Chain A
Amino acid sequence: MITVNDLHKHFGSLEVLKGIDAKVEEKEVVCVIGPSGSGKSTFLRCLNLLEDVTSGEITIDGDVVTDPKVDINAVRSQVGMVFQHFNLFPHKTVLENITLGPIKVKGESEQEANENGRSLLEKVGLSDKADMYPDSLSGGQKQRVAIARSLAMNPKVMLFDEPTSALDPELVGDVLEVMKDLAREGMTMVVVTHEMGFAREVGHRVLFMDEGVIMEEGNPEQIFENPQDPRTQSFLSKIL
């Protein structure tokens, strides 16, 4: 589904990604872990071209998205992104947040988008909130709306950037539950997370990033029970 070849990203003179090679299969859930500043967010943002890559190649579902001729908006409409701070649109109702993309980007009729939106809200357990404004929701509810908003575009891949790290601990569970459902349904997902429990339970593969490279990767048992790289070991010993 996603292939990344020798991806480099500079911010001015600072090299943040130093040659990333990665592959994500269809229906695979890949969790990305690593210390702060290691480039996890930047990597994720490169995948849907929120950052322009300095060099390297990214292919999504057969399309080379790093090709300068590619229609960036079309690529993004097929790659859902969920942010740490939700980034819901405060001037729109919950339902309008969800239907904006389908109506404006995919040209769905309002009725079609509304029906779809309501069923997505049901799926994330928030059907009663359709006409509320985001400000009146809890963090966990906001994040579930944000997930529904991304799903409304019917993406091929979902990217999550620490979706639960801005939440109060008691609200994390609901969001993770929604993400687990998605994984079970076969959504291809790349998840930057500090939730090691989630990575263990749902992740098919874990990538450990440090200083702009993928230091180690493997299935969750390998990484968590038997890490090979000393830096993975020290990182895990600090957080587990």
Chain B
Amino acid sequence: MIDDFLNSHYIKVLPDLIPGMGWTLGLTLAGLFLGFILGAIVGLGRLSRFKIISGFCSFYVEVVRGTPMLAQILFIYAGLTRDVIGFNIDPITTSIIAIAINAAAYIAEIVRGAVYSIEKGQHEAGRALGLSEKQTMRYIVWPQAFKRMIPPLGNQFVISLKDTSLLSVIAVNELLYAGKQYYNVTYTPFQTLIMVCLLYLCMTIPASLYLRRLERKLDV
């Protein structure tokens, strides 16, 4: 009985899926790191009093949020070829850029919302003390806003992690692609995909639980 299970495809697929899981996690983290930086810039840009800057940042957010991520991935990978930009972008770089660009649009909204949610009086109290605009943002508004960003950022982590499965179209060896490669040979999509989904849940459920605990601790 146990021997049967150990010899089944539920187990035999794992050595192929574990590296895929590593790629999924690695690409998500790398993409989100860049996405956060870009998102923070775009989000603060949307709050700018210069119409050109805030307009451009809004445009960016609308375009990214209004188009499918799959199209964005293909656009970067297949659209921006040697003919267009002078060189080809490899699948891994494409993956990181695609996740970053996509997540940045959502993170921009998170950042903007969080900064916006800090009471005006906080800003005024800082300025009234004689702090410059920059100091007020840095010491007063930003730290409070950052705390409010953590829950939605954690949420974005889960979303971006699942979105990496779309990268299978450009043959990046992330979790879903690794599974597809396996069942194409063994013809066991049922067992394979169950294991693929289980491994996604192994990443997303702990992330959600940790997030809920953090929310309680930060009291946001």
Contacts and interface: CB of A to CB of B under 8 A. Distances in A.
Interface of A: 48, 50, 73-81, 83, 85, 87-91, 100-101, 104-105, 149-150, 153
Nearest to A78: B130
Interface centre among B128, B132, B144 (most CB of A within 10 A): B128
A73 B133 CA distance: 9
A87 B121 contact: yes
Contacts of B121: 83, 85, 87
Contacts of A85: 121
17 contacts: A50-B128, A73-B132, A74-B130, A81-B125, A83-B124, A87-B121, A88-B125, A89-B126, A89-B140, A91-B147, A100-B129, A100-B131, A104-B139, A105-B130, A105-B131, A149-B129, A153-B130
B128 A76 contact: yes
Interface of B: 119, 121-122, 124-132, 135, 139-140, 143-144, 147
Contacts of A75: 130
Contact of B129 (A76, A90, A91): A76
Contacts of B129: 76-77, 100-101, 105, 149-150, 153
B139 A100 contact: yes
B131 A104 contact: yes
A149 B125 CA distance: 10
Nearest to A100: B139
B128 A48 contact: yes
Given A100-B139, A101-B130, A153-B130, A83 B147 contact: no
A49 to B, nearest CB: 9
B127 A76 contact: yes
Nearest to A89: B140
Contacts of B132: 73
Contacts of B127: 50, 76
Given A100-B139, A104-B135, A87 B122 contact: yes
Given A74-B130, A76-B128, A89-B144, 14 more contacts: A48-B128, A73-B130, A73-B132, A76-B129, A77-B130, A81-B128, A83-B121, A85-B121, A91-B144, A100-B139, A101-B131, A104-B131, A149-B129, A150-B129
